[in-house]
Structure 1
Amino acid sequence: MSVVKGLLYPLPLLIGFACAPSALGAFLKDSKLNLNLRNFYINTDYREGHAGTSKAEEWGQGFRLLYESGYTDGKIGVGVDALGLLGVKLDSGKGRHQGSTTLTSDGDHAADQWSRFGATLKLKASKTDLRVGTLMPKLPVLVFTDTRPLPQTYQGGMVTLRELDDITLTAGKITQVTGVASADRTGMAVAGGRRQSNDFRFAGVDYRTRDNFLLQYYQAALEDYYSQQFLGVSHIWKVTEGRSLKSDLRYFRSRGIGANAAGEPGYQIAGYTPDHRGEIDNDTWSLAFTYAVGRHSFMLGYQSVSDDSDFVHLNQGSLSGDLGARGASTYLIAERLQSYFGRAGQDTQIAQYSYDFAAKGIPGLNVTVAHQDSEGIQSFAGSSLRERETDIILTYAVRSGPLRGLGLGLLYGELNSEVTPDQNQLRLMVSYNVELF
């Protein structure tokens, strides 16, 4: 209970800054307070070729307390969100802890606990929303990762405009990031980059037509590293009652800028580049078709990465000193448990099957089996290398009754690769969500 009180302690101060006393009633009327508990176990077995330990194994508990206020009355509504995060080590040890990927580091072993607090000021006018502070965006060019006990968070500002029917405009700037297993904010980089940048800007438009088309265009730039453009087109065709076909086309164009383009030390991308220059020069496209019939879903896809560099995205894993900023997610259709299949020259074929057990009288139970097989990977050791991964994901969410809010997850993946050590990975998650008010 003391943990909860500690996380709630800053809220009155934030509310006082955001609202005049006369507006406090409206501010609190739509407020919500949610507590999420996530118990997370991960076991990675490096079957061969790994320079360090043959196995990484850790178990942790995450606590997430999220307060979301309503908005004050008036032409410009004011609100505040507050996020308190606490991670606790349940089991780990020297030799089984490999950096801050699941639990934060304390020297060469895992720390007993870590915590952080974030606050977001919200302003709303008509259908326009401005948020400044702690952000967890899910955009094609910027995706926060939430695959460990605690989520990744960003610091910055973002505005979303929905004034026009069927059109959403988004723009913003990010200055810092905190990794999934860290209490420290850092600047941003890419895989391989050792220098921090504090300027990531993005803007985009989503146009959703009334015949189930979604058209997206985004631009983004990380100062001294890269600029990126994204174009996406997706469509859902209602074939007959209970049957649909979804098509999803995505294209990314990324180029080095500033220090990366100039070849300055510390700004190079990891992986293969011609002449070892580390310059970002990548085009990645993908196409997927998903056919759904009843509770069954079948997906076939293809993803292609150009030859001159890996696909690029925000990734702070190479920053010096193990700052705990590891862990990153992308908007690639081929990303799975252990690989995102975005290496230079990598062409990936994707097959996936999902089933919802609601038809069998078990609502909330779902299973997904996915397989990716790729070739053509470029590396300094050779070309046309291969990589494949098979994953099984079983999830269950209790929908009603006294255990409503309980979620279970079992995720297992096997990665076979000619560019990284082969590995099997098992993840077990138990989460419980409590709406306090």
Structure 2
Amino acid sequence: MSKHCVSVTVAGGIAGIALCTTAYADFLSDSKANLGFRNLYYNNDNRDGTAAPSKTEEWAQGFMLDYKSGFTDGTIGVGLDALGLMGVRLDSGKGRHVGSSMIPSDSDDRAVDEWSRLGLTGKVRLSKTELRYGTLLPKLPILVYSDGRVLPQTFEGAQVTSHEFENVTFVAGQIEHATGRGSTDATGLAVSGGTMESNKFDFAGGDWKITKNLTAQYYYAKLEDYYRQHFVGVLHTFPIAEGQAIKTDLRYFKTDADGANDAGQVGYRTSGFTRNGDGRIDNDTWSAAFTYTFGAHALLGGYQSVSDDSNFVQMSQGGLPDKGAGGNSLYLYTDRLIQSFNRAGERTAFTQYSYDFAALGAPGLKASVMYLKGTDIKTTSGDDQKEWERDFSLDYVIQSGTMQGLGFAWRNGVSRSEASRDQDQNRFTVSYSIPLL
């Protein structure tokens, strides 16, 4: 090769490196990474009934490495996110692990020593629209990932989020698999009671901020062979005076059977009461909640009504064979520490009082107590059943000093139900996050 050719090649290589450096500058400089720690003691004590377990009691340490890249420069930006999750068992005996939804089980039904998984998400940005494909943590009215244990539930699929129109957020996508809170294995999708997997959950919808204090919502979702769901919501804040306001939250769901569930096929039926005993999903659920805030105080009151042809449902892994797949979250005010108050026919009144102790010179300290009472429940064993739950929460986050950001949380719940077992539950959590980038 001549010296001229070498010069051209070297120059081309340097230009390529320079171009690459320019293109990826934002990818690297805008990257963020955090290492989160969550230590959770979980105790759920069944107070009646003969079925095992009588008590689930476990203690585990979770590690969450969350990396979010920036986007490459240019009209179309490209990026990559990574979520590394690892759990370590600190304490769990075989007799106290049965029924766990926090720690995976080995072949002998004992809690494993440790478990981990890695989720990658590719992303593309064009103007004010972003496409994400890979591991997702959706928080939408028609799908909410569950984060009530030491590691979160994750989903796999694609999601588009657009802000092209002022004051409008549009979301659409498709979910294909999920990994439970206490599992390392991805499964298909189902509803509570369903034992056959669906691999297609389509959704679309958005939020329209009509005014500064008024937002309207509409979402549509379809879990193939299980259900179709429409959601309409209204959020409004009415300022009364300095430090005082009333927040209104109205929600309505209409859920109908789809495909195999509509045909009553075995494996695609939902659990609980259904009108004809065929496991067919047919439900209307609405709720109204009002929160009055005044200074450090917040007082909430609300009511929820579930129609009586079937339970209210959203996507779940609970009926699938993977033992760690159990547990999902519902976009309901009544989805609480123990119960969800979503059974067929159930009418639930609820109230909550919250207080921020910053007003007394203790910033970072907050407490709340909530009470819910459900009536008119229909189950396969009878009608007009009742249940109630009382939840107490106490949170404290250190505000300054070497351990700034270290958080402590206690959750205590008591449930008494004619439709399920009576339960007492406690959760103690210590959490901390270290910024790496």
TM-score class, shorter-chain normalisation, is: over 0.9
Say whether residues 1:72 and 2:72 are aligned partners: yes
Aligned to 2:426: 426
Aligned to 2:373: 373
For the aligned residue pairs, the C-alpha RMSD in angstroms reads 1.1
Shift of 1:436: 1.2
Shift of 1:211: 3.8
Higher radius of gyration, 1 or 2: 2
User: How many correspondences in the alignment?
Assistant: 418
C-alpha distance in structure 2 between counterparts of 1:172 and 1:105, whole Å: 32
Shift of 1:362: 1.1
Contact kept in structure 1, 2:367 and 2:393, CA below 8 Å:
yes
Say whether residues 1:222 and 2:223 are aligned partners: yes
Aligned to 2:363: 363
Say whether residues 1:23 and 2:23 are aligned partners: yes
Shift of 1:98: 2.2
Shift of 1:251: 0.3
C-alpha distance in structure 1 between counterparts of 2:321 and 2:45, whole Å: 26
User: Superposition pairs for residues 168-207 of structure 1, below 5 Å?
Assistant: 168-207=169-208
Aligned to 2:138: 137
Contact kept in structure 1, 2:291 and 2:300, CA below 8 Å:
yes
Contact kept in structure 2, 1:253 and 1:284, CA below 8 Å:
yes
1:263-294: CA deviation from partner (whole Å, max 9, x where unpaired): 11100000001231000000000001100000
Task: Report the 3-state secondary structure (helix = DSSP H, G, I; strand = E; otherwise coil) of the residue aligned with 1:260.
Answer: helix
Contact kept in structure 2, 1:191 and 1:270, CA below 8 Å:
yes
1:43-90: CA deviation from partner (whole Å, max 9, x where unpaired): 111111141132110000100001111111000111110010001110
1:135-157: CA deviation from partner (whole Å, max 9, x where unpaired): 00100001001111101110000
Aligned to 2:236: 235
Q: Which amino acid aligns with 2:253?
A: F
Contact kept in structure 2, 1:100 and 1:325, CA below 8 Å:
no
Task: Report the 3-state secondary structure (helix = DSSP H, G, I; strand = E; otherwise coil) of the residue aligned with 2:315.
Answer: coil
Q: Name the CA shift for 1:21/1:99 in 2 (closer, same or farther; >3 Å).
A: farther
TM-score scaled by structure 1?
A: 0.94
C-alpha distance in structure 2 between counterparts of 1:211 and 1:102, whole Å: 40
TM-score scaled by structure 2?
A: 0.94
Q: Name the CA shift for 1:174/1:242 in 2 (closer, same or farther; >3 Å).
A: same
Contact kept in structure 2, 1:50 and 1:421, CA below 8 Å:
no
1:391-430: CA deviation from partner (whole Å, max 9, x where unpaired): 0000111222211121100000000000111010000000
C-alpha distance in structure 2 between counterparts of 1:20 and 1:44, whole Å: 54
C-alpha distance in structure 1 between counterparts of 2:307 and 2:47, whole Å: 30
Q: Which runs of 5+ in 1 are unaligned?
A: 1-18
Q: Which amino acid aligns with 1:67?
A: Y
Aligned to 2:262: 261
Q: Which runs of 5+ in 2 are unaligned?
A: 1-18
Structure 1 runs (4+) greater than 3 angstroms displaced: 19-22
Contact kept in structure 1, 2:256 and 2:283, CA below 8 Å:
yes
Aligned to 1:335: 335
Shift of 1:100: 4.4
Aligned to 2:13: none
Q: Name the CA shift for 1:321/1:327 in 2 (closer, same or farther; >3 Å).
A: closer
Shift of 1:340: 0.9
User: Superposition pairs for residues 128-167 of structure 1, below 5 Å?
Assistant: 128-167=129-168
State percent identity of aligned pairs: 52
Task: Report the 3-state secondary structure (helix = DSSP H, G, I; strand = E; otherwise coil) of the residue aligned with 1:358.
Answer: helix
C-alpha distance in structure 1 between counterparts of 2:93 and 2:353, whole Å: 37
